[in-house]
Amino acid sequence: MSSYLDSFSGRNSWKRYLSSLAVVLGFLLIGGIAYGLSLIMAIQLDGDSYFDIELGRSIGLSPYIEFMLLNSVYLFWLLGLFISVRFIHKRPLRSLVTHRDHVQWGRVFWGFGVFLGIYLLLNVADLLIFQEGFKVNPGTSPSQFLLLFGLVLIFTPIQTTVEELFFRGFLAQWIGKGVRNPLLLSLIIALIFGSLHFANPEMSRSALFVGLEYLFAGFMLTYVAVKTGTAELSIGAHAANNIFLFLFFSDKQSVGGELPALFEAGEVNAGISLLWSVVLFGVFYWMSMRKYGGQE
């Protein structure tokens, strides 16, 4: 089966990959500085908010503003990737996703819909079995949720797609030049992907179980991409995962913070959460392979 990991043109020496990584990291640095300056300015203009160094986030600032500012960093990341792939590797950005001459959006939306459907069913099962864990968020009004809905639909797919372009695309293609075993390649990408999420506030629940959940998610997203020959399903699944969390669960111990989601997350059992993730990605992988595993 043809694969996006090796069926692309351009110039792809190790020196060019190193140069591209330097460009991407440079744009990330610029984006981080822009985010920091914008956050300081927003806090000063607000007057009633401040930045808590221990928590690593602003207190009192509108969660909408912080959400938009934080996600703006991904635009810099995307620009760095585009410049690197287009001008250093001399190939189109879509080559990070597929070996074909166009992205098959049907695959992306299939991955999104199937992953979201499985996620919803598992959360219903979790509620029926444990009868706790989340409740309707009393602080969310219809107008607040509609604003959140619009912002999440705009910014979150950008955030998740950029991460997929970098981890399942750029890094997987680079490391895949020397590592041909799908399991080993997926494990390496998972270690990089997971470790960069270890600073997330969710880690305070359980460094072991939450850390393993990040690693497992990174592994399965990569493995699905490698086994199906494109990163399209992983792009859809990653977007579904984050959109679901931002819209449905307000959790102060998460990246979403105090966003006005539909439900408030209660006491989260990190071990059970890991178990549900194994089921979620396991079912998604099985369904993905049944539909796309043998296609060219």
CB–CB of 55/82 below 8 Å? no
Quick one: average pLDDT of 144-150? 94
Q: Which residues contact 172 (CB under 8 A, 6 or more apart)?
A: 5, 185, 189, 222, 225, 226, 231
Picking from 178-182, 208-212, 258-262, which range would have the lowest pLDDT averaged per residue?
258-262
Cα–Cα distance between 185 and 56 in angstroms, integer? 33
CA dihedral 101, 106, 111, 113 (to 10 degrees): 160
Beta strands in the chain (DSSP E): 50-52, 57-59, 134-136, 249-250, 263-265
Q: Which residues pair with 265 in a beta bridge?
A: 134
Cα–Cα distance between 262 and 139 in angstroms, integer? 9
pTM across the whole model: 0.93
266: pLDDT strictly greater than 80:
no
Quick one: average pLDDT of 116-135? 82
Using alpha carbons, list the distances in angstroms from residue 271 to 22, 155, 157, 202, 215: 37, 30, 28, 13, 14
55: pLDDT strictly greater than 70:
no
* pLDDT tens per residue, range 228-251: 999 999 999 999 999 999 998 876
| Tokens 């590592």 sit on residue | 179
Say what the pLDDT of residue 131 is: 57
Q: At 295, give phi and psi (nearest 5°).
A: -85, 150
Using alpha carbons, list the distances in angstroms from residue 270 to 43, 184, 267, 294: 33, 26, 9, 35
CB–CB of 77/169 below 8 Å? no
* pLDDT tens per residue, range 86-118: 999 999 999 999 999 999 999 999 999 999 999
CB–CB of 215/191 below 8 Å? yes
Cα–Cα distance between 76 and 27 in angstroms, integer? 6
For residue 169, the 8-state DSSP code is I
Q: Which residues pair with 263 in a beta bridge?
A: 136, 249
